[in-house]
Amino acid sequence: MPATDYALYTGCIIPLRYPDIENSIRETMPLLGANVFDIVGAGCCPPGGAFWSVDEISGLVQSARNLSIAELMNKDLMAVCNGCFCYLKNSNLLLKDNQEKREKVNTILNQIGRKYHGTISVYHLVEILHDKIGVEKIKESTKIKLDGAKAAVHYGCHLLRPSDHLMAENPEKPHKLDALVEALGMESVYYPKKLSCCGAGGGMRGNNPNATLKILEKKLMNIKYSEPDCIVTCCPFCFLQFDLGQKGLRDKGEDFCIPVFYYNQLLGLSMGLPKKRIASISETPRDGFIKKFYGVD
Amino acid sequence: MKIVLNETNEELVNKVIQYGGENIYKCFQCGMCASGCPVAGDTDHKIKRTMHQVLLGLDEQILDKKAIWLCTTCFMCLERCPQNAGPTEVIFALRRISAEKGIIPDAQIEVANNIYHLGHAVTVEKGIKLRDKVGAPTLNTAGSDKKYIDEIQKIINTTKSFKLLKIKKDWKPKGDEVIACD
Amino acid sequence: MYLCSEQGQNLIKDDIQKEGITRVVAACCSPRTHEEIFRKTLNSTDLNKYLYEQVNIRDQCSWPHIKDKENATKKAMTLVKSGVYRAIELEPLEDRKLPVLKSTLVIGGGISGINAALDLARDGYKVYLVEKNPSIGGKMAQLDKTFPTNDCSACILAPMMVDISNNPNVELLTYSEVENVSGHIGNYHIVVRKKQTSVDWNKCNGCGDCSIVCPVKVDNEFNCNMDKRKAIYIQFQQAIPMKAVIDKTKCIKCKLCEKRCQVGAIDITKNDDEYVEFDVGSIIVATGYDLFDPNKKAEYDYDHPNVITSLELERMMCASGPTKGEILRPSDNRVPHTVSFIQCVGSRDEKTNDYCSRICCTYSIKHARLLKEKYPDMDIYIHYIDLRCFGKGYEEYYRMAREKGVKFIRGRISQVDSIGDRLEVSGDDDTLGEQISVIADLVVLAVAMESPKGSKNLANLLNISTDKTGFFKEIHPKLKPVSTDSDGIFIAGACQGPKEIPDAVSQGKAAASAASSLMSKGEIGVEPLFAQVIDEFCAKCRTCESLCTYKAIKYIEDENKIEVDIALCKGCGVCSAACPSSAIKANHFTNSQVRMQILALTGGLK
């Protein structure tokens, strides 16, 4: 398979809270024929909860700055966080489509010597893994099969919705992450309200810590329905919510301790990559799962 | 409390349309939005009621309250709305109107100031330590160099958000906690 | 005073008679609704009715320019002027007479088509009733009880079906489809394809022995695929005609049925369809509806065996249905304790169908009542947006459901999730202002009515219109509810739009009455708006012949002459406009009439 190059947009949470996830992406993707290159100087996407929530142009212009750097690399952008994917793709479409907004944004970007052209596309990691690389290639590239392991797949909201803009998945019956998880030999189990929110987004985690945990608790109760061995997600903010949120619930005396993985962490472990580099940061323990299914301490 | 409907703010709905909630008139109050909302059960954020309040011009019941800031922006209501009335877009519009009145929650201010001063929604120092620990390559995103942060500050300075998100020149992050990112 | 009132018309009559008026121009509303009235006014005097011109200053002026009174008034004055100048050039014309055959083709053998066919047959007209299924009866034959009286559907439908089969004026063509339609009002030529049954219906006595010996089991469409039928089958117990059909796509050609049949009716080697041709004077389309496919609403999890459609529940309720009238959860055949009805599935939804399907509120109430009567302890929820029980007696019907303890919850359901062997129905209760969930054993989806597959093709075949939802379009929603834009072709029942049985029956009868009044005299007067060739100017270039959409123009070689068939000509004017030597005159739209109009509009006339 010819190598395909992507501009890797890491966002905020992955490089600054879960750099092991970043390592897992950097090390697995080239093995599947997708080379990643850094978007040097990339800032926050920015989030819908703050900038978009007060003024559209304020959000657009920051997205456009990130896109303009990737445009200089002449490579399509690979988003590895649902929030980044949603707002960057949305901005890219809006700016390609709407001349008035594009001009407004470029006037502002001009002050810092940058310009948005609309020459690249934005993809989510899951789209690249499923649509461009393909499940078969992943099966061939992994040595260790997770036979017997049950995974609760969590897509996260901003990979799916709003579907008429994102067009990454069937919004009511998504299947790509499930297929990717099953390519590792795991069973992707059913659980009720699989498409519902983890409760982190939109500023909720900061504005109402109690409610955010209550929403997470409901989500986890549904996940527990199928007694999975782990939760697999493709969004670092959902990952963080499951990881830190379960700790928060444990601190309140609740019993939630389901191991959480970003997809590429499992992919890397299945390829035989070292745990320390790609899956060693978490507040909710995962060592038991890794020991049981990979035989690694 | 009895509400006299013909003494409400008729301008509210037009303002919501102007600020991005352009399909609000399509709403026929079926309740699909509230039905699938992840936060409705645990907070005062009742999206169907909000849609109706906008249509009736009951601005005091929406803008002065915190509920519109409790939306997780999961877009489930927008996705399933049978009339394509765009409830999430209405929430964004209301937040914009509310911010112009100076009403904005602390979490939003915190995140915006982080982005303005650090280039990222979360603190950077802790991140660099973690990167060392797992052997990640040297950070080269906006947070790695003042010249990128300057770029971001310059563009934010020219937008309305500088004022609306109450960005301060002398800012100290509250902590390493991740508050918001999407 | 309204000009179209008796008083107004008398005013016109007086002026014609007393003032010697020779042309009449009315500046008012649409000719579509009012031209006929004023023409009749002229007819009652000595003035020829085609010396009347109507200027539409409502639809084409005051309505679209409602916010610009001044300019609208100017435009109206210009329009009136153009009408007056056109009127100067109007010529007296006589209606042409066309013979009308006293026979009708009815397409679709549901309750609407059956009523139309019976009414016409009883009045002495020959009726050809074409139905694509092996039996007539339509969707109503699948229903158990009917609202608002709860009488048994089969009990009221079956006698009418028998009437059809006994009426010598009705020629029943079931398991057949209309293949081609040509001709015009009063005289259509029809080709019907009779699908091959491989059973000689003249011999078949409907004993059903063939089905018993047939080893091939296939999904039974009549019971919504909830049980099996055989590859050779009689559609249902009260089928009319009560004849067997071989499903050619499923038959394994074992010939067991052939050997078993005591009257020797079966010949499985017969493969070719047969074609029947006949002529009729009018056509009634009554092709009914299809149900919305709930798989398009993945959030309601129709894949789950215990999530069913209303029609599936209806078949279960029926004593001759797959469960013999018992209500059982498909997953384990146990009687459900809690049942949730989700309304508006595929209705009032811009993502699927934006219209209201009209019948679902009342049929779900019917289902809930019938369930409560049979299982008084059953816990029943109806999740609705607005309850639309608009018909006569429906409000009382709804009240009785409440009295039986059915719980009505206002608020759309977001999703259905499987929880163990039950289902969680998640939604919103408007009145409580809270999210709610119901743990149900059975979920019933009130699926929308949609225009049947193939409507578009049939519309093209008949040259009639469909609206944006795919249903056939009537000429006027209030005044001409069963007429189409092709004279002589009528529509009835749910193929025109969602409707319940009483309305479908009314329309069937209305269409029969419209067809009957068309055919009763054996001829009709048609507007003389056809093209005329002025032979002395004609160069026989045959440009007109190649352009005519209706194939109304022919070159007659023997006489070296171009001839217009006035029965086929629609008066569209294409030939007249295209003729290089101005040798074709379009009646009532002559070059001089149109020229005057243009001059008035463009200010060329002072």
Q: Do A225 and C419 touch (CB under 8 A)?
A: yes
Distance from CA of B47 to the nearest CA of C (A): 10
Taking only the tens place, the pLDDT of each residue in C551-600 is 889 999 999 999 998 878 888 899 999 999 999 999 999 999 999 999 99
Distance from CA of A76 to the nearest CA of B (A): 18
Same domain, C435 and C574: no
pLDDT at A275: 96
Total number of residues shown for chain A: 297
The reply to whether A53 touches chain B by the CB within 8 Å rule is yes
Chain A residues touching residue B67 (CB < 8 angstroms): none
Q: Do A190 and C419 touch (CB under 8 A)?
A: no
Domain that holds residue C14: 6-95
Cβ atoms A265, A232 nearer than 8 A: no
Chain B residues touching residue C415 (CB < 8 angstroms): 35-36
Nearest to C428 among B26, B34, B82 (CB): B34
Chain A residues touching residue B163 (CB < 8 angstroms): none
Chain B residues touching residue A82 (CB < 8 angstroms): 182
CB pairs under 8 A between B and C: 57
* Of residues B162, B163, B181, B16, the one with CA closest to residue B88: B16
Same domain, C121 and C84: no
Q: What is the C-alpha to C-alpha distance for residues A24 and C353, in angstroms, rounded to an integer?
A: 46
Of B109-118, B155-164, C550-559, the one with minimum mean pLDDT is: C550-559
Q: What is the C-alpha to C-alpha distance for residues C17 and C14, in angstroms, rounded to an integer?
A: 5
Q: Is A95 left (phi over 0), alpha (psi -120 to 50) or beta?
A: alpha
The reply to whether C298 touches chain A by the CB within 8 Å rule is yes
Q: What is the C-alpha to C-alpha distance for residues A76 and A119, in angstroms, rounded to an integer?
A: 9
CB < 8 Å from A in window 399-418 of C: 415, 417-418
Q: Do C428 and B35 touch (CB under 8 A)?
A: yes
The packing angle between helices A209-224 and A236-251, to 10°, is 100
Same domain, C180 and C214: yes
CATH number of the domain encompassing residue C576: 3.30.70.20
Structural domain contains residue C369? yes
- Residue pLDDT tens, chain A, 297 long: 456 999 999 999 999 999 999 999 999 999 999 999 999 999 999 988 899 999 999 999 999 999 999 999 999 999 999 999 999 999 999 999 999 999 999 999 999 999 999 999 999 999 999 999 999 999 999 999 999 999 999 999 999 999 999 999 999 999 999 999 999 999 999 999 999 999 998 888 888 899 999 999 999 999 999 999 999 999 999 999 999 999 999 999 999 999 999 999 999 999 999 999 999 999 999 999 999 999 988
Two tokens, residue C42: 């002229």
| Mean pLDDT confidence for C494-508 | 97
Interface residue of C297, C414, C432, C438 to substitute, partner B, most B CBs within 10 Å:
C414
CA angle at residue C483 from C477 to C486, to 5 degrees? 125
* Three state DSSP letters for B80-122: HCCCCCCHHHHHHHHHHHHHHCCCCCHHHHHHHHHHHHHCCCC
Structural domain contains residue C206? yes
Interface residue of B26, B28, B32, B52 to substitute, partner C, most C CBs within 10 Å:
B32
CB < 8 Å from B in window 88-107 of A: none
Cβ atoms C169, C124 nearer than 8 A: yes
The reply to whether C428 touches chain B by the CB within 8 Å rule is yes
Cβ atoms A127, A81 nearer than 8 A: no
pLDDT at A1: 44
Q: Do B35 and C430 touch (CB under 8 A)?
A: no
Structural domain contains residue C178? yes
Q: Do C413 and B35 touch (CB under 8 A)?
A: yes
Torsions phi, psi of C419, nearest 5?
-125, 105
Q: Do C414 and B41 touch (CB under 8 A)?
A: no
Distance from CA of C225 to the nearest CA of B (A): 29
β-bridge pairing C307-309 and C145-146: unpaired
Torsions phi, psi of A154, nearest 5?
-120, 115
Q: Is A35 left (phi over 0), alpha (psi -120 to 50) or beta?
A: beta
Q: Do A109 and B43 touch (CB under 8 A)?
A: no
Residue with tokens 């209309």: C178
Q: Do A65 and B151 touch (CB under 8 A)?
A: yes
CATH number of the domain encompassing residue C168: 3.50.50.60
Instruction: Give the dihedral sign, CA A178/B41/C440/C420.
Output: positive
Nearest to A192 among C298, C299, C424 (CB): C424
Q: What is the C-alpha to C-alpha distance for residues C566 and C561, in angstroms, rounded to an integer?
A: 15
Taking only the tens place, the pLDDT of each residue in C343-395 is 999 999 999 999 999 999 999 999 999 999 999 999 999 999 999 999 999 99
Q: Which chains touch C (3 or more CB pairs under 8 A)?
A: A, B
The reply to whether A225 touches chain C by the CB within 8 Å rule is yes
Nearest to B38 among A40, A199, A240 (CB): A199
Categorize the per-residue pLDDT at C606 as very low, low, confident or very high, splitting at 50, 70 and 90.
low
Nearest to A43 among B70, B152, B182 (CB): B152
The reply to whether C424 touches chain A by the CB within 8 Å rule is yes
Q: What is the C-alpha to C-alpha distance for residues C402 and C399, in angstroms, rounded to an integer?
A: 5
Q: Do C435 and B84 touch (CB under 8 A)?
A: no
| Mean pLDDT confidence for C320-349 | 97
Q: Which helix (H) or strand (E) holds C526?
A: strand C523-526
Complex prediction ipTM = 0.95
Taking only the tens place, the pLDDT of each residue in C35-65 is 999 999 999 999 999 999 999 999 989 999 9
Domain boundary at C41, C65, C95, which?
Answer: C95
* Of residues C35, B67, C415, C488, the one with CA closest to residue A208: B67
Task: Please report, as a single letter, which amino acid is at residue A246.
Answer: Q
Same domain, C280 and C294: no
Distance from CA of C195 to the nearest CA of A (A): 39
Task: Please report, as a single letter, which amino acid is at residue A260.
Answer: V
Same domain, C200 and C231: yes
* Three state DSSP letters for chain A: CCCEEEEEECCCHHHHCCHHHHHHHHHHCHHHCEEEEECCCCCCCCCHHHHHHHCHHHHHHHHHHHHHHHHHHCCEEEECCHHHHHHHHHHHHHHHHCHHHHHHHHHHHHCCCCCCCCCCCEEEHHHHHHHHHCHHHHHHHCCCCCCCCEEEEECCHHHHCCHHHHCCCCCCCCCHHHHHHHHCCCEECCCCCCCCCCCCCCCHHHHCHHHHHHHHHHHHHHHHCCCCCEEEECCHHHHHHHHHHHHHHHHCCCCCCCCEEEHHHHHHHHHCCCHHHHCCCCCCCCHHHHHHHHCCC
pLDDT at C605: 62
Same domain, C35 and C153: no
Nearest to C435 among B28, B40, B49 (CB): B40
Same domain, C205 and C222: yes
Taking only the tens place, the pLDDT of each residue in C65-82 is 999 999 999 999 999 999
The reply to whether C303 touches chain A by the CB within 8 Å rule is no
| Mean pLDDT confidence for C83-90 | 96
List own/partner pairs for C467-471 with CB under 8 A and 24 or more apart.
C469/C353, C469/C354, C469/C355, C469/C497, C471/C495, C471/C496, C471/C497
Percent of all residues in chain C with a pLDDT value above 70, rounded to a whole number:
100
* Of residues C94, C156, C182, C91, the one with CA closest to residue C505: C156
pLDDT at C577: 92
Instruction: Give the dihedral sign, CA B39/B45/B46/B47.
Output: negative
Q: Which residues pair with C409 in a beta bridge?
A: C383
Q: What is the C-alpha to C-alpha distance for residues B79 and B60, in angstroms, rounded to an integer?
A: 28
The reply to whether A192 touches chain C by the CB within 8 Å rule is yes
Same domain, C251 and C318: no
User: How many structural domains compose chain C?
Assistant: 4
Q: Which chains touch A (3 or more CB pairs under 8 A)?
A: B, C
Cβ atoms A219, A194 nearer than 8 A: no
Helix (H, G, I), strand (E, B) or coil at B24: helix
Nearest to B82 among C350, C426, C433 (CB): C350
pLDDT at position B67 over 50: yes
| Domains in chain B with CATH codes | 7-100 (1.10.1060.10), 106-164 (no CATH)
Structural domain contains residue C271? yes
Mean of per-residue pLDDT scores for chain B: 94
Same domain, C311 and C413: yes
Helix (H, G, I), strand (E, B) or coil at C435: strand
The pTM of the full predicted model, rounded to 2 decimals, is 0.90
Q: Which helix (H) or strand (E) holds C586?
A: strand C584-586
Taking only the tens place, the pLDDT of each residue in B78-105 is 999 999 999 999 999 999 999 999 999 9
Cβ atoms C421, C333 nearer than 8 A: no
pLDDT at B176: 85
Structural domain contains residue C226? yes
Nearest to C299 among A172, A192, A225 (CB): A172
| Domains in chain A with CATH codes | 4-124 (1.20.1050.140), 134-294 (3.40.50.11810)
Torsions phi, psi of C76, nearest 5?
-60, -40
Chain C residues touching residue B48 (CB < 8 angstroms): 428, 430
Nearest to C419 among A172, A173, A192 (CB): A192
pLDDT at A3: 62
Taking only the tens place, the pLDDT of each residue in C523-534 is 998 889 999 999
Same domain, C47 and C176: no
Q: What is the C-alpha to C-alpha distance for residues C378 and C329, in angstroms, rounded to an integer?
A: 13
Chain B residues touching residue C383 (CB < 8 angstroms): none
Same domain, C139 and C203: yes
The reply to whether C416 touches chain B by the CB within 8 Å rule is no
Q: Do A190 and C424 touch (CB under 8 A)?
A: no
Instruction: Give the distance from CA C537 to its chain's centroid.
Output: 46
Same domain, C258 and C316: no
Q: Which chains touch B (3 or more CB pairs under 8 A)?
A: A, C
Mean of per-residue pLDDT scores for chain C: 95
